[in-house]
Structure 1
Amino acid sequence: MKNLLLATVASLSLAAPGFASGTHNDGHGEQLEIGVPGEAEQVSRTVKVSMKETDDGDMVFEPAELSFAKGETVRLEITNMGESEHEFVLDTVERNVTHKELMAKIDMEHDDPNSVRLDAGASGEIIWTFSNAGTFEFACLIPGHYESGMFGPVNVN
């Protein structure tokens, strides 16, 4: 039993640096409750989203709420108009909470089709098909950003 415990601790110790830095991809290419990565030729519209800090210290997305039709494929053009690095993550509220807690513990970047992380002044895009109806969330999960207001609802009808 002691050898098993030592082996487990050793393997976790060796794996920890991989989780502590670099990129993260936890299978987000597969079906999520909010949908699936979309195909560019299926895009029905483009939605522009900006991320920035306000003069009073809040961090915001504009628009503050997004709405889509079930089955719709969209191109989200995301621009970081702020002075800090920000990210845009599409998921359920519950998964974003869990993910945010993990990011508070380790330095993590994403390589997932439902997210984009951008330096100040940079732009990126997500092509997404909203295959399920419901209320979901977009958020910046960089430590402190969610708490400063960087989240909003995604309504899919």
Structure 2
Amino acid sequence: MKTIKFIAACAMLTSAFAAFGHENMPHRATTAPVAKEQKDWGIAGDAKAVRRTITIRMTDNMRFTPNHVEVREGDTVRLRAENKGRVLHEIVIGTKIDLDAHAEMMAKHPGMEHDEPHMAHVTEGKTGDIVWHFNRAGSFDFACLIPGHYQAGMTGTITVSPP
């Protein structure tokens, strides 16, 4: 009898956790304070410091438009991701190595919850913003890490040139 109760409890827990895929993840409110952590590609920016908004469209053909962005070191930019598709997409900024590792983790754990200032999850027909301060020159990447999207080529680059 204990075995049957244990199996039933496990089944209920599995069903409950299955409901928490990317579509149902809690997302950071735009007014909530953001934890600022220096990354190789910059740091979370302050909305008041934004001087430029760059709109990046995401579609179900697994592409970003534009797929290359140029900014200057020191710029605080709003990357506005518009989901023009019919499925969930996301935009995550990082280095190729970081994005590769994160994509591998997402493939193993597709329901994984995360909410970082360098990420925006965008449901069908909606927009999501990343406010980012590019305080390091270099070439960086962005991608959709929803399982299968990254592998299909849903990637882009950011060139941060010296001031």
* TM-score (ref. length: structure 1): 0.78
Q: How many percent of aligned residue pairs carry the same amino acid?
A: 42
Q: How many residues align?
A: 134
1:155 aligned residue: 159
1:29 aligned residue: 36
Give the deviation of 1:44 after TM superposition. Answer: 1.4
Gap runs ≥5 in structure 2: 1-16, 28-34
2:71 aligned residue: 68
Gap runs ≥5 in structure 1: 1-16
Q: 1:42 aligns with which of 39, 44, 49?
A: 49
Once the two structures are superposed, what CA deviation does each residue of 1:13-45 show, in whole Å capped at 9, x if it has no partner?
xxxx8xx96679xxx731000000111111111
What amino acid is aligned across from residue 128 of structure 2 in structure 1?
Answer: G
Q: What CA RMSD, in Å, does the superposition of the two structures yield over aligned residues?
A: 2.2
What amino acid is aligned across from residue 99 of structure 1 in structure 2?
Answer: H
Q: 1:102 aligns with which of 95, 101, 105?
A: 105
Give the deviation of 1:61 after TM superposition. Answer: 0.4
* Structure 1 segments (4+ residues) deviating >4 Å: 20-24
Aligned residue for 1:128, secondary structure, equals strand
Once the two structures are superposed, what CA deviation does each residue of 1:76-127 show, in whole Å capped at 9, x if it has no partner?
1111000111000001110000000001111223210000111111111111
- Alignment pair present for 1:113 and 2:117: yes
Aligned residue for 1:89, secondary structure, equals strand
